[in-house]
């Protein structure tokens, strides 16, 4: 193991570098900007820019880029070199405060859902000083937000920062009510657990579907899948171990606290979790992590698949968003305390989350909706598309006792008065917890498990922060200025539990009976696909909350709905076109070649002895001929529905066509192809099998 301590954060312009390289006056002024969002003076910006550039050049950088997260895709960057002509004919390495603070990428080809047309043709990037600059290759990357000149957000960072600010503002109001005067700000933290598949590059290169779409569009199940359940936490294979070691090194240099790694449920599937960080930084780091995971894989002759469902019939990949709310004084507000007042405060924050998740369950669903993630949600593996919350039996019983003014029959039987009594001890052990719940309380944080492995974590945290800010605002409005705080608080908590208890479910989320109960008896929403849920982003209550919390403008919401649906349609259209190509150019011809080989054998046999049995050949030829007819007809139909779908102008309608026509046609075409794969001899089949891909890395 290399020098972990020495190398950690080596490629990051972090606090240690700032302190060492800036005068204390400049450093303090920058810190003020970072922690309080104070405006940066231009002379401070210049000084920071010079120090940052000097540091970057010393560490091998020649270029800089404003690194940002457009609405689709992962991250974007446009590189400029530091060089400027020197009077003597040589070059100088220059970088000004202006260049640090603001950039103007030619943004016309980033999706804006019509925003730029309405406002201003060009967008600009603005430095986010709360996330450290870092070096990637020979480029200094400066984390930035991306906006139009009209101030409309064109990225994921801007609304995330706004949502954190919204939550900060409302949480501070609540904390004041509890007498917490010394807290200056409240922020949310996230630890994302990232799942992924690793396969051999050689197999990947032979699969057009993986190359163009990230998932296999055909492929029959291997004789052995995850049936034995022996991969989870199993011994890590040498090639994978070497990859993980290298990956950790790279991530540590970038200041990412990669911590836990293990095999996942499916063969070839693994997980990596960093230590949690402030949400904004966690989001930047998760984007960077996904990029580095892929880069390091290619050095090892591997490919890292981040698609939610690379292989049908095998568990897909998700991401768990572990989320908590904490103060600058180090208090985790989701941690039950030891005193009556701490307990009451904890219960209030707990209730704020319960209310938020119930009121805005649709927004949480929408925030994880992508073409890829649709394969998991509602497909009996990842949590269902129905959002519910797991609190554990004991905490649920405590809430029920509070709601009904009944004694809690736990370890100690007693009636509780909030603000007077200490909460009864409940089980905070998070090992024995429900893994089928989309949204689980795990002792001092919530774990939202519906994210897809390739999702940006920004989307879900924007919605979560905004919705919780809204609950807190309603609470603060109610509690500020009441005569009897304790009583008002008690009543409000009771009311929240009464009004929102339908969202709490501690049972098995995969159970059919639960989905029925959830939708029919409890009235929870069940949007199965992206096409179903995305239009609800613009439901009146959602627009109202998100605009009142100043997280989005109505125009931004419109554009986002459009972009997300457009992305869904484009993704599936590309998949459809890829499948058409594969079937026409590889699969049908391969089946024909094998058929001709079998026919040749049959006729040879007949030549040798006209009475020799050729029933095996006949059988195969019969089966394959009829499959070929089905496949041929299927690919024609697929082409037709793809054409029709692309001709639809209304994006919502186009989404429905994708859901109702394109996907089912692809599915039945695939079925026939997979049946053929089972019959055709291996050497005739054009693609590596599931078995080869899933068990190929030793």
- Binding footprint of ligand ADP on the chain (CB under 6 A): 189-191, 193, 260, 273-276, 320, 322-324, 332, 444-445
DSSP code string of 570-605: HHHHHHHHHHHHHIIIIIHHHHHHHHHHHHHHHHHH
Q: How far apart are CA 663 and CA 309, in angstroms?
A: 14
CB nearer to Mg ion: pick between 315 and 553: 315
**Could you tell which of Mg ion, ligand ADP, none binds residue 124, using a CB distance below 5 to 8 A set by kind?**
none
**Could you tell which of Mg ion, ligand ADP, none binds residue 527, using a CB distance below 5 to 8 A set by kind?**
none
CB 439 within 8 A of CB 390: yes
Instruction: With contacts defined by CB under 5 A, name the span among 50-58, 317-325, 616-624, 642-650 that binds Mg ion.
Output: 317-325
Do strands 258-263 and 83-85 pair parallel, antiparallel, or not at all (unpaired)?
unpaired
CB nearer to Mg ion: pick between 43 and 260: 260
CB nearer to ligand ADP: pick between 186 and 273: 273
Provide the minimum distance between the beta carbon of 530 and Mg ion in the complex, in angstroms, as a whole number: 24
Q: How far apart are CA 403 and CA 410, in angstroms?
A: 15
H or E element that contains 512: helix 512-516
- 376 near Mg ion, rule: CB under 5 A: no
- 270 near Mg ion, rule: CB under 5 A: no
Q: How far apart are CA 587 and CA 596, in angstroms?
A: 14
CB nearer to ligand ADP: pick between 271 and 359: 271
CB nearer to ligand ADP: pick between 194 and 578: 194
Residue 373's contacts (CB-CB under 8 Å, 6 or more residues apart) are 308, 318, 382, 450, 451, 452, 455, 530
Q: Which candidate, 70, 33, 216, 223, places its Cα nearest to that of 155?
A: 70
Provide the minimum distance between the beta carbon of 463 and ligand ADP in the complex, in angstroms, as a whole number: 17
**Interaction with Mg ion in 9-28: which residues (CB under 5 A)?**
none
Closest-CB residue for ligand ADP?
191
Size of the site for Mg ion (CB under 5 A): 2
CB 454 within 8 A of CB 368: no
Instruction: With contacts defined by CB under 5 A, name the span among 107-115, 188-196, 277-285, 585-593 that binds Mg ion.
Output: 188-196
CB 166 within 8 A of CB 545: no
- 320 near Mg ion, rule: CB under 5 A: yes
Which string of x and - marks every residue 191-210 that binds Mg ion (by CB under 5 A)? --x-----------------
Closest-CB residue for Mg ion?
320
CB nearer to ligand ADP: pick between 113 and 274: 274
Q: How far apart are CA 53 and CA 142, in angstroms?
A: 11
**Could you tell which of Mg ion, ligand ADP, none binds residue 189, using a CB distance below 5 to 8 A set by kind?**
ligand ADP
Residue 645's contacts (CB-CB under 8 Å, 6 or more residues apart) are 569, 573, 654, 657, 658, 661, 662
Provide the minimum distance between the beta carbon of 326 and Mg ion in the complex, in angstroms, as a whole number: 19
Which string of x and - marks every residue 602-641 that binds Mg ion (by CB under 5 A)? ----------------------------------------
CB nearer to ligand ADP: pick between 46 and 271: 271
CB 111 within 8 A of CB 558: no
Provide the minimum distance between the beta carbon of 335 and ligand ADP in the complex, in angstroms, as a whole number: 8
Provide the minimum distance between the beta carbon of 337 and ligand ADP in the complex, in angstroms, as a whole number: 14
Instruction: With contacts defined by CB under 5 A, name the span among 126-134, 316-324, 624-632, 676-684 that binds Mg ion.
Output: 316-324
Provide the minimum distance between the beta carbon of 442 and Mg ion in the complex, in angstroms, as a whole number: 8
**Could you tell which of Mg ion, ligand ADP, none binds residue 121, using a CB distance below 5 to 8 A set by kind?**
none
Query: Count of CB atoms within 10 A of residue 111's CB?
Result: 20
Q: How far apart are CA 64 and CA 99, in angstroms?
A: 10
Backbone angles phi, psi at 452, to 5 degrees: -80, 160
DSSP code string of 515-533: HHIIIIIS------SHHHH
Binding stretches for Mg ion (CB under 5 A): 193, 320
């Amino acid at each position: 193991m290399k020098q972990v301590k020495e190398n950690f954060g080596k490629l990051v312009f972090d606090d240690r570098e700032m302190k060492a390289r800036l005068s204390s006056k400049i450093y303090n002024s920058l810190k003020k900007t970072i922690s309080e969002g104070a405006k940066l003076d231009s002379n401070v910006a210049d000084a920071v820019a010079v120090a940052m550039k000097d540091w970057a050049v010393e560490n091998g950088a020649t270029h800089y880029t404003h690194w940002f997260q457009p609405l689709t895709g992962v991250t974007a960057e446009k590189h400029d070199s530091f060089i400027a002509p020197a009077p003597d004919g040589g070059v100088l390495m220059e970088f000004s405060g202006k260049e640090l603070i603001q950039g103007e990428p030619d943004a016309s080809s980033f999706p804006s859902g019509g925003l730029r047309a309405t406002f201003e043709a060009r967008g600009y990037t603005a430095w986010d000083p709360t996330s450290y600059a870092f070096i990637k290759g020979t480029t200094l990357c400066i984390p930035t937000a991306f906006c139009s000149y009209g101030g409309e957000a064109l990225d994921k960072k801007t609304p995330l920062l706004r949502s954190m600010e919204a939550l900060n503002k409302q949480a501070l109001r609540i904390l004041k009510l509890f007498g917490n005067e010394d807290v200056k700000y409240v922020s949310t933290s996230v630890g994302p657990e990232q799942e992924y598949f690793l396969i051999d590059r050689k197999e990947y290169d032979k699969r057009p579907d993986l190359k163009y779409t990230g998932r296999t569009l055909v492929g029959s199940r291997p004789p052995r899948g995850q049936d034995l359940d022996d991969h989870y936490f199993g011994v890590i294979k040498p090639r994978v171990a070497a990859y993980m070691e290298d990956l950790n090194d790279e991530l540590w240099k970038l200041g990412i606290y990669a911590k836990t790694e293990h095999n996942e449920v499916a063969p070839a599937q693994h997980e990596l979790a960093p230590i949690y960080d402030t949400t904004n930084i966690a989001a930047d780091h998760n984007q960077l992590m996904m990029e580095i995971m892929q880069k390091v894989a290619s050095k090892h002759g591997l490919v890292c698949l981040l698609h939610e469902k690379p292989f049908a019939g095998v568990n897909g990949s998700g991401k768990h968003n572990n989320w908590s709310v904490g103060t600058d004084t180090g208090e985790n507000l989701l941690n039950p305390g030891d005193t009556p007042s701490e307990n009451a405060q904890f219960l209030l924050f707990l209730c704020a989350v319960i209310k938020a998740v119930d009121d805005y369950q649709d927004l949480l669903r929408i925030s994880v909706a992508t073409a890829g993630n649709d394969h998991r949600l509602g497909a009996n593996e990842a949590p269902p598309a129905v959002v519910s919350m797991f609190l554990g039996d004991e905490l649920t019983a405590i809430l029920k006792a509070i709601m009904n003014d009944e004694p809690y029959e736990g370890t100690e039987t007693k009636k509780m008065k909030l603000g007077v009594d200490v909460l009864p001890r409940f089980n905070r052990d998070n090992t024995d917890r429900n893994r089928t719940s989309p949204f689980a309380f795990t002792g001092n944080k919530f774990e939202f498990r519906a994210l897809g492995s390739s999702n940006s974590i920004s989307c879900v945290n924007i919605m979560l922060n905004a919705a919780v800010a809204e609950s807190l605002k309603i609470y603060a409005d109610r509690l500020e200025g009441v005569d009897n705080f304790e009583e008002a608080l008690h009543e409000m908590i009771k009311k929240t539990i009464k009004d929102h208890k339908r969202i709490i479910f501690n049972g098995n989320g995969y159970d059919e009976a639960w989905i029925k109960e959830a939708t029919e008896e409890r009235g929870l929403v069940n949007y199965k696909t992206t096409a179903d849920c995305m239009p609800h982003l613009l439901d009146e209550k959602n627009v109202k909350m998100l605009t009142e919390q100043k997280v989005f403008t109505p125009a931004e919401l419109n554009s986002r709905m459009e972009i997300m649906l457009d992305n869904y349609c484009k993704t599936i259209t590309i998949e459809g076109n890829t499948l058409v190509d594969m079937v026409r150019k590889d699969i049908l011809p391969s089946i024909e070649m094998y058929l001709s080989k079998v026919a040749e054998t049959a006729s040879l046999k007949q030549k040798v002895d006209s009475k020799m049995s050729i029933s095996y050949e006949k059988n195969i030829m019969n089966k394959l001929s009829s499959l070929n007819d089905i496949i041929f007809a299927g690919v024609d139909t697929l082409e037709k529905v793809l054409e029709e779908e692309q001709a639809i102008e209304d994006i919502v309608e186009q989404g429905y066509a994708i859901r109702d026509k394109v996907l089912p046609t692809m599915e039945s075409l695939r079925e026939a192809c997979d049946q053929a794969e089972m019959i055709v001899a291996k050497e005739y089949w054009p693609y590596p099998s599931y078995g080869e891909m899933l068990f190929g890395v030793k």
